[in-house]
Structure 1
Amino acid sequence: MNNEFIFEIIERIKSSNIQEIEIIAGDFQLRVKQNIAPKEVPVQTANIQQPAIQQPVITEEKKAEEKKYHVIKSPLVGTFYRAPAPGAPPFVEEGDMVSKGQVVCIIEALKVMNEIESDVDGKVVKILVENGQPVEYGQELMYIEV
């Protein structure tokens, strides 16, 4: 095979939609690949509307609850537990009175059980997380009426 033949093959592949060709003749091997970019679709920007980004809805009720109640938030990422052990009674129930420093739940992180204490005296109004559910840093766990 001569160089002229090879260049002719390359030129013909360039002007076609062929992505790959391989020629084997005795001891001679030739493989040519070409990357064909996808055809661009014309975009009409006049009729395209950006999707609306969902903003968290903060209702007046939620704002009132935040002002009315003290919020206990998760100090770390982990798994929320209401009781010290499976089958044991929960630390607190909705309606229970709690004292400052009283354990209200456990958050397990990296196999360490972290006791979460109330930082106010008051009544547990609402527990916002189900037992065994993952929680994020700063996530609201419960409301305490001071």
Structure 2
Amino acid sequence: MDLRYVKKLIEMLDGSTVDSIEISSDKGMKLRISKSPQQRGVTVAQAMPAAMPMPAPAVLPAAPAARPAEEGGTVVPKAEAPKSAALEIKSPMVGTFYTAPEPGAKPYVSVGDRISKGQIVCIIEAMKIMNELESEFDGVVREISVSDAHPVEYGQVLYRIDPTG
């Protein structure tokens, strides 16, 4: 859509009794212009292709608020759970996880294997491209969190590595 065309539509809408207009293009673009705040219309700056959904923002838990000291007592902070000594190798993309370079081949790594930084640990297929994933750590593989040929999400834990093992 041409920006001049959109500006002309806005001008026409402002000068009329029409409350809102919605236009769809043959390329999947939808544009909704609305005058009233009751209708949740998309503004020109927010218009985007209908085929491209936005990812939902991650919701992080809020930090606990400090409790005021009770009568004659002091505030004792809650003990945090001990952090695992294992390092995590996470998926850098959405795709399909493969443990071996081809079907029937020996896996790159198995539980109990010692790995070094830069060693290939798996392949993630995304958009028909095979992406080799290298380890960021030295250590021993303690857990493989995903089954071969299964889908993975961005940031999903694939391996847990014991750096002291």
Q: Work out whether the TM-score is over 0.5.
A: yes
Counterpart in 2 of 1:82? 99
1:90-117 per-residue CA deviation (whole Å, 9 max, x = no partner) reads 0000000001000000000011000000
Deviations 1:113-144 (Å, cap 9, x if unpaired)? Answer: 00000011100000000001100000000101
C-alpha separation between the residues in 2 aligned to 1:71 and 1:145? 9
Higher RCO (CA < 8 A, seq sep 6+): 1
Following the alignment from structure 1 to structure 2, what is the Cα–Cα distance between the partners of residues 75 and 125? 20
Q: Which residue number in structure 1 is paired with residue 87 of structure 2?
A: 70
Q: Distance in 2 between matches of 1:117 and 1:94?
A: 16
* Aligned twin of 1:140: 157
Give a deviation string over 1:22-49, Cα, whole Å, max 9, x none.
xxxxxxxxxxxxxxxxxxxxxxxxxxxx
Within the alignment, does 1:102 sit opposite 2:119 as a pair? yes
What amino acid is aligned across from residue 121 of structure 2 in structure 1? Answer: V
1:121 partnered with 2:118: no
1: CA distance, partners of 2:130 / 2:162? 26
**Overall identity of the aligned pairs, in %:** 58
In structure 2, C-alpha distance between the alignment counterparts of 1:134 and 1:120, rounded to whole Å = 23
1:28-47 to 2 correspondence within 5 Å? none
Query: Could you say what the CA RMSD is over the residues aligned between the two structures, in angstroms?
Result: 1.9
Misfit runs of 4+, over 6 Å? none
Work out the number of aligned pairs and report it: 86
The amino acid that maps onto 1:129 is V
Which ranges in structure 2 are unaligned for 5 or more consecutive residues?
A: 1-60, 62-79
Displacement of 1:64: 3.5
Cα distance in 1 for residues equivalent to 2:91 and 2:158 = 6
In structure 1, what is the Cα distance between the partners aligned to 2:162 and 2:136?
A: 12
Cα distance in 1 for partners of 2:139, 2:133 equals 15
Could you say which structure has the higher helix fraction?
1
Amino acid at match of 1:127: I
